[in-house]
């Protein structure tokens, strides 16, 4: 029910802020000491002691409060024996303790803690907290009576939850002209030479740079940004701070929280090579996100009941 979801949402928001505070402390310690960083799949896939500490904090708190729920976290998953991602229909938390670990390593502030909660394999609660970017906390309950909110840490403390969408501006009629794009290239480097990464994203790059535009009517996108955190791209697109994001292949935990927020604001995740009429495309289910190349597209508007036209 909506009141249960509200409880889960409020719990996750508090937990994300607590984890953020811990992460800020860890980052200060890391800067003073030798950095403890290991490689996972390859030299661009990193894990720090901070990733593990944040995940432990979140996991322990969730399992203490909701022992009957399943928990999937980036670091426990990577360290474990289960190498196939299995999303079942029961209540499941999907957590990325630090999305943007490479940025953390370089002290670039574009790093977020992502807490997602799925029911029936659908991202239903999402909380994304960026402790180094003004303490921005994006969150949503994906439900007809839910909502999507952004609170930021202002000079007088955290602002109360402001609706992200009130309502969101429509996508430009001749999109992608005039749109702001985000692109992420994942961590898989097995298919070197790396030019293959360009091949992987060629549809996206073409769409972003074609002078003629997809409909031949001309006009380019405003620009492409790569933030190094797919969850931040996702919430920027969800909140209208961007329009379209491309991902070359990330993991479920990178985007589960962000997808709940995107869905609630009327956005959609589709194949990376959608037909010209994007709204005719079937959305990609959460269970099939991992390793896929996809686009996340901002929602257009909500009607007076707060419902998105795609619901
Ligand atoms: C990574 C980021 C990146 C995406 C990678 C992810 P991490 O997450 O989200 O944008 O392209 O696929 O692995 O490893 O920093 O949590």
**CATH number for position 54:** 3.30.540.10
Please tell me the predicted confidence (pLDDT) of residue 84. Answer: 56
pLDDT digits (tens, 9 = 90+) for 164-191: 655 556 666 667 777 888 988 877 766 6
Residues 148 and 20 in one domain: yes
Nearest one of 91, 118, 98 to 55, comparing CA atoms:
98
pLDDT at 19: 95
> What is the number of the ligand 1 atom nearest to the C-alpha of 255?
9
Nearest to 263 by CA among 236, 285, 238: 238
Kindly report the backbone phi and psi dihedral angles of residue 150, in degrees, each rounded to the nearest multiple of 5, phi listed first.
-135, 125
Residues 293 and 251 in one domain: yes
Return all residues near 106 (Cβ < 8 A) that are at least 6 apart.
Answer: none
My answer on whether 29 and 153 are in the same domain is yes
**Of 30-39, 83-92, 204-213, 262-271, highest mean pLDDT:** 262-271
Say what the pLDDT of residue 302 is: 42
Do 214 and 150 lie in a common domain?
no
pLDDT in the model for residue 218: 52
pLDDT at 304 over 50: no
Distance (Å, whole) CA 258 – CA 235: 5
SS3 for 307? coil
Residue 46: CB within 6 Å of ligand 1? Answer: no
Q: Are residues 109 and 188 in the same domain?
A: no
Task: Examine residue 309 and state whether it is found in any structural domain, yes or no.
Answer: no
Interval between CA 227 and ligand 1 midpoint (Å): 10
Ligand 1 proximity of 96 Cβ (cutoff 6 Å):
yes
- Whole-number percent of the chain with pLDDT over 70: 71
* Beta carbon of 258 within 6 Å of any ligand 1 atom: no
Question: What is the C-alpha separation between 269 and 262, in angstroms, rounded?
Answer: 9
Ligand 1 atom having least distance to the Cα of 98: 16
Tell me the per-residue pLDDT of 223-280, one tens digit each, with 9 for 90 and over: 889 999 999 999 999 988 888 898 888 888 889 999 999 999 888 888 877 655 655 6
Domain residue limits at 251: 180-297
Q: Confidence band (pLDDT; 50, 70, 90) for 122? A: very high
Which residues contact residue 94 at a Cβ distance below 8 angstroms, ignoring those fewer than 6 apart?
72, 73, 87, 116, 117, 118, 123, 252, 253, 256, 257
Alpha carbon nearest to ligand 1 atom 16, residue: 99
* Same domain for 224 and 155: no
């Amino acid at each position: 029910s909506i009141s249960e979801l509200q409880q889960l949402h409020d719990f996750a928001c508090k937990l994300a802020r607590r984890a953020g505070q811990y992460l800020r402390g860890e980052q200060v310690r890391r800067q003073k000491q030798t950095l403890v960083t290991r490689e996972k799949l390859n030299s661009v896939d990193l894990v720090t002691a901070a990733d593990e500490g944040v995940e432990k904090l979140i996991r322990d708190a969730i399992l203490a409060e909701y022992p009957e729920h399943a928990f999937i976290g980036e670091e426990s998953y990577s360290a474990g024996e289960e190498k196939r991602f299995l999303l079942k229909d029961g209540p499941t938390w999907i957590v990325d303790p630090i999305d943007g670990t490479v940025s953390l390593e370089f002290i670039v502030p574009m790093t977020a803690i992502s807490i997602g909660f799925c029911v029936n394999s659908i991202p239903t609660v999402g909380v994304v907290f960026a402790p180094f970017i003004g303490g921005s906390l994006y969150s949503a309950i994906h439900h007809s009576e839910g909502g999507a909110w952004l609170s930021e840490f202002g000079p007088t403390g955290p602002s109360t939850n402001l609706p992200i969408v009130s309502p969101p501006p429509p996508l430009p009629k001749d999109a992608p002209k005039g749109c702001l794009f985000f692109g992420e290239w994942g961590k898989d480097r097995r298919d070197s030479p790396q030019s293959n990464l360009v091949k992987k994203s060629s549809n996206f790059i073409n769409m972003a740079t074609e002078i003629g535009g997809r409909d031949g009517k001309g006009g380019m996108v405003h620009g492409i940004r790569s933030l190094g955190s797919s969850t931040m791209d996702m919430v920027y697109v969800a909140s209208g701070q961007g329009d379209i994001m491309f991902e070359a292949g990330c993991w479920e935990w990178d985007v589960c929280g962000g997808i709940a927020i995107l869905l609630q604001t009327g956005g959609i995740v589709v194949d990376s090579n959608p037909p010209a009429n994007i709204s005719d495309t079937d959305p990609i289910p959460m269970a099939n996100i991992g390793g896929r190349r996809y686009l996340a597209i901002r929602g257009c508007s909500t009607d007076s009941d707060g419902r998105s036209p795609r619901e």
